[in-house]
Structure 1
């Protein structure tokens, strides 16, 4: 898919929304249908995500030399409708900017114009493996005692990956790429204090770190499967196999560390 086809897919979720319902109800249904948690925070993330995608779509069309009169009204209407000020307004006040037949037809045409920029479909087996690993790590963290700093790091990793997978439906693989880059840096740059605390906590804590590394590897494989040019590759794929041995190693091996 490309920015236009992703936006069009999101608008489909709003087609059944009654005019008397609030826009937020449509977002809640969209989040639920994609297996994401439903909260005010996730709705706002999705809202910002689609506005970002509208800007990207406009930029891509301009870069291709598409005359602005062929898309500006549609994109302006979408951007206006998806402002937070309209989140709790009746859908009937703004539906024509999102689900009108001419809007959706225009988005479909934009998708056709940008078809050469389509991302690959992500590998379903890689996605299944990642979702299973997230669920297993979540369960482990709930059932075991860990150092506070490590728990905070690993819980934030799970939350960030879940958000990235939710935003994949709006923004493509880039949120997953960003999450992998951030998390691989955090794990490999963990402070000496956190590494020492985790080491002292024993096998359960170290095993939790290894599973965190495996999450990053699995997320990298998901991201790369959707990209036409591989972003990560062997180094990130093998991070999970390296496991706890890579925890804090960039910091420990730096010149400033004296090693």
Structure 2
């Protein structure tokens, strides 16, 4: 029934963030079952996976133009298509340091929304001090927004990045409440800063660059020894920690505070 219906209609099908485990036939069946006017769009971080998709052509989007970038930045920084006349020049400076990356424009604009002029000027100087040639330029610029969070908001952000992307918000909610992190206001702040989203099922969603940022921040706590970090999410790191007895001190602390 589905096959008979889809072959009669012109469809646009978008599949986000595919990886090497993606199999077109298992998800969609035979490409010939679709109308010749149907178009598929796949996004991926590894263009090699596109080699296994039938009749697929690679399109690499370039940087946004200055005009497009200014519109996107203004939408998040002012809630309008164009910045006010007195803010055009400083807005263009922020657009330049974002180098046409939509995610950076969105996050930086959200950070500046309804903030004082002195805050804008300080953040602009901070962003301009980041060298544009470093490999993780985008990540470093997104970190400006993370640095502006409170301690509680940072902990919630890092927990989501490491463990709770795709999880219902109620799953860690009581844990954060017990830790005194005030999750209601914390989650609201992260949403307004464009660092996370809640989908229709109230599940956490986060862009890959932002999730990578959160995990990179945790890794920086101790690059060589994962068991010294505040969060461990890779199975191999956990197994290595258990095999080498690095967990014994942590377990002793648990026994001390939770003897039963």
Give me the TM-score of the superposition, normalised by structure 2.
0.26
Of structures 1 and 2, the one scoring higher in RCO (CA 8 A, sep 6+) is: 1
Larger radius of gyration, structure 1 or 2?
A: 2
Which structure: greater helix fraction?
A: 1
